[in-house]
Chains A and B, each alone.
Chain A
Amino acid sequence: MTRTRDPAFAAAVAVLVLGAAALAGLIALAGENPVAVLAALVRYGFFTANGLADTTVRAIPFCLIGLGVALAFRAGVFNIGADGQLTLGAVAAVACAPLLAGLPWPLGLAGLLVAGMAGGALWGLVAGVLKARFGANEIIATIMLNYIAVQLLSWLVRGPLQEPTGIFPRSAKLAADLTLPVLVPGTRVSAGLLVALAAVAVVWALVARSRWGFALTLTGANPEAARYGGLRPGWVVISVMGAGGALAGLAGIVEIAGLHGRLQEGFAPGFGITAIAVALLARLSPLWVPVSAFGFAGLYVGSATVARTTAVPFPLVHVIEAAIILAFLAAAVLRRRAGQG
């Protein structure tokens, strides 16, 4: 029967159509032509040289964070704390920078990235241990840790990590040999791109080939069966929060070492939340995460341009993001219903 063939698909289409209609309505409300605005958005984000470079720059952190979110979601652990983990990763790395500055070239940089991963992992582990040991809901714990991270960064750039002159709320610039070199001359695309692609390969191998990756999939599919099979649920939660935190922390230090060159407040606004949309749209598959990240990055870059040239404000991109997340969730719920029927 066609009526019951694929309600998930029909729902996804319906939500996307409704979302697009709402979007067009909002643009029209701002006094602009929806078709022209959206066309400009896509054209700049994906089809101009400058736009493409900016999109790539933005895609790097989305991809790294999205990989960690995908890992956690696969295991049924809802890590909403990538923003905090990213911040702590950047903080830990920048704090270690003076110690690493003297080392021969690749060593110091490698140490910086490792420090970033360690900082992020530590922040993720806090929520992981709270859940495994005390049953604290990881969604609430990670959101609260995000706020703590924001305040911590705010204090650090005005205190222990502030630049020597003590005027601006930011850290000193990283030594030149601790920054990621520009990969494509004339753009801001750094070697962070290679870091992100390497991370994709590693996470894919973990998911598809390793026992740990299977443990995540199994825990997500049926936690009770995973326990019966000999997995310790607490260990799965802790390890995946640590891994997700490490990837977010890596994204944090790649942003600093590849783009900003120094620590400052709000250097990655809302990236952790966008990464959730990135991971969901990629259906939690590591190989699709970079594609999805690139798509979202293009929307961001395009929206920013549109906001400069028309009366449509930048938060438009959040509406698009929300529509995509809602479409995904509606489709997932309906698919589950159809599966049970």
Chain B
Amino acid sequence: MTAAVLALSGLAKSYGAVRAVAGLDLALHPGEVVALVGENGAGKSTVVNMITGMTQPDAGTIRIKGAAVTLPNPRAAQGRGIGVVHQHYALVDSFTVAETFALGAAGPGRLDRASLRARVAALAAEVGIAIDPDARIGSLDVAGQQRVEILRALSRPVDLLVLDEPTAVLTQEDADRLFAVIARLRTKGVAVLLITHKLADVFRICDRAAVMHAGHLVADRPVAAFTPEAVVSLMIAGQEGSDAAAEMAGRLSADFATDDAAPVPEDHAAGPVLLTAEGLRLRRANGSVAVEGVGFDLRAGEILALAGVEGNGQAELIQCLAGLALPDAGHVAFGAFDSRRPGLDAAALRRAGLAHVPDDRRHQGIAEGLSLTENLILSHLSGPRYARGPLLDRGHARADTAAAIADYAIRTTGPDQPIGRLSGGNQQKLVLARELLGEPRLLLAAHPSRGLDIRTIAAVQDHLRAARDRGAGVLLVSADLGEIWRLADRVMVFAAGHMRGPVRLADVTRAELGGWMAGH
């Protein structure tokens, strides 16, 4: 066997009293694709941060091609041939793809755009990534931006590419393209470390899987030596054969089963119409039409799913329904509110029983510097819940926060901790707890389980079902057909500027839906 590209031994890191990573041993060889899986808070991100020079280990050694190294900062890791694509991209919307490559790499003096473009095009061809060097970053969808970040990571000599949750935001089609790129990198001898929550990714593309549980590496074997149930059990219980894990794996079987095995949801008797949209045309921030001709009714007691490749107007629809943007044409009506009349704003809609789990949590859903309690108040500020005349009932909010921490198993030091210190999954749990507080009549849920571990996903889905069963109407935006199949009563699709559906889930197959999403 050739020398390991990267070998970690006894790597450990604590944050205060919390042992994030305890004595981790892991090696990656050239051309190997290794999955690193585990629940939120299992320590995956800490491992990535140590490998990429973002944080320093407390103990243990990192060897690169046999030589022990310290990586005091991200630049040092890059210099040693470690490329990384983070979950959150560091891109400038107004730059073109080619200009992005000059970021942090261009020397002083005039920027030679022609050679820059040629370099980017050549690199893209070599890796097998289709990208227009002149496209503006802001005009690209999430998958396109991810391709730019991958190319950027590969623009220097790279022996190891770390991909943090790359498929969380991708449609199946885009994920397939990503896997093709990974396969090509592997033949060039690049090792790939794939951090993922999706078991399907593990079994599709990876050679080996390393499972982390509560800071420990509990298994590291070839993928062929795992069953999906075993991985689930190791992730949530740290050992195989856990009953709770088996039950959970069974419930989530759609995640690793093929189309036909997906359970057909039972019919729910839906109530009166809650929300109506008619003839909507929605524009993106840059002025282009995202989607037009959107019309549907959402009834009390149903989950209506909105599927489709991201960037086809889903985000714009949610912003419009939440009262944060007006439609370009057409109208929406919720209860006494109508977008054709004044008085429709986010505060009024929220008072009328609307709740909204946003897709961009960091920018819209939370204020990172504020405490959990303050983040819980965030969307109830205009409502009656914590209002005592002009005063704010912080004691009540703090009690609600403590209850949410217990109910949703949020890992935190308490209601007063700044929410920015929590992992993404735990932040999402608080957002969900907050939005379900006070039993909303209408819930807009945009990618509520994106990036979460499977135990949390199961909890999130249970909460959505419970909301539906007590008579709320739920609009669920999801890129995950498995999730839609498990939850939704009806589904509609935005693709190529138009909508298809809504139809009852029983009246459509996954293949048909896939065709709609592709714009057929």
Q: Name A residues whose Cβ lies closer than 8 Å to a Cβ of B.
A: 1, 209-215, 217-218, 221-222, 224-232, 339, 341
Contacts and interface: CB of A to CB of B under 8 A. Distances in A.
A218 B391 contact: no
B378 interface: yes
B151 interface: no
A210 B391 contact: yes
A211 B386 CA distance: 9
Given A211-B387, A230-B379, A221 B346 contact: no
Contact of B391 (A211, A228, A229, A232): A211
B390 A210 contact: yes
Contacts of B349: 230
Contacts of A339: 420
Contacts of B202: none
A225 B427 CA distance: 14
Contacts of B347: 230-232
Nearest to A215: B381
Contacts of A212: 390
B363 interface: yes
B374 A217 contact: yes
A1 B392 CA distance: 41
B438 to A, nearest CB: 13
B345 interface: yes
Interface centre among B56, B347, B377, B381 (most CB of A within 10 A): B381
B480 interface: no
B56 A229 contact: no
B363 to A, nearest CB: 5
A218 B390 contact: no
B363 A230 contact: no
A225 B392 contact: no
Contacts of A218: 367, 370, 374, 378, 381
Given A222-B368, A224-B364, A214 B379 contact: no
Given A218-B370, A230-B383, A339-B420, 19 more contacts: A1-B56, A209-B391, A210-B391, A213-B392, A218-B374, A218-B378, A222-B366, A222-B367, A222-B369, A225-B363, A225-B367, A226-B367, A226-B378, A227-B324, A227-B346, A228-B364, A229-B346, A229-B382, A230-B350
A175 to B, nearest CB: 36
Nearest to A209: B391
B54 interface: yes
Contacts of B392: 209-211, 213-214
Given A214-B392, A217-B374, A225 B365 contact: yes
Contact of A217 (B350, B370, B387): B370
B356 interface: yes
8 contacts: A211-B392, A215-B381, A225-B366, A227-B346, A228-B364, A228-B365, A229-B381, A341-B54
Contacts of A230: 345-347, 349-350, 379, 381-383
Contacts of A226: 367, 378
Contacts of B380: 229
B238 to A, nearest CB: 31
B363 A229 contact: no
Contacts of B391: 209-211
A212 B383 CA distance: 13
B133 interface: no
B358 interface: yes
Contacts of B420: 339
Closest 8 CB pairs of A and B: A230-B347, A221-B367, A230-B382, A222-B367, A229-B379, A230-B346, A229-B378, A228-B364
B444 to A, nearest CB: 11
Contacts of A214: 374, 377, 381, 392
Nearest to B345: A232
A1 B73 CA distance: 14
A221 B54 CA distance: 25
Contacts of A232: 345, 347
Contacts of B387: 211
Interface in B385-402: 386-387, 390-392, 394
A1 B14 CA distance: 12
Contacts of A229: 346, 350, 378-382
A221 B379 contact: no
Contacts of B363: 222, 224-225
Contact of A228 (B346, B370, B374): B346
A221 B370 contact: yes
A57 B180 CA distance: 75
Contacts of A1: 56
A146 B54 CA distance: 46
Contacts of A227: 324, 346
Nearest to A339: B420
B381 A231 contact: yes
B358 A228 contact: yes
A142 to B, nearest CB: 25
Contacts of B383: 230
B156 to A, nearest CB: 21
A224 B356 CA distance: 14
Contacts of B377: 214
Contacts of B390: 210-212
A204 to B, nearest CB: 13
A309 B214 CA distance: 69
Nearest to B346: A230
Nearest to B347: A230
Interface string B335-353: 0000000000111011000
Contacts of A221: 367-370
Nearest to B350: A230
A230 B363 CA distance: 15
A221 B347 CA distance: 19
Contacts of A211: 381, 386-387, 390-392
A230 B367 CA distance: 14
A109 B358 CA distance: 52
Contacts of A225: 363-367, 378
Contacts of A231: 347, 381-382
B436 to A, nearest CB: 15
A217 B392 CA distance: 13
A222 B345 CA distance: 19
A341 B54 CA distance: 7
A75 to B, nearest CB: 13
Contacts of A222: 363, 366-369
Contacts of B345: 230, 232
A221 B345 CA distance: 21
Contacts of B379: 228-230
A327 to B, nearest CB: 21
Contacts of B378: 218, 225-226, 228-229
A222 B420 CA distance: 12
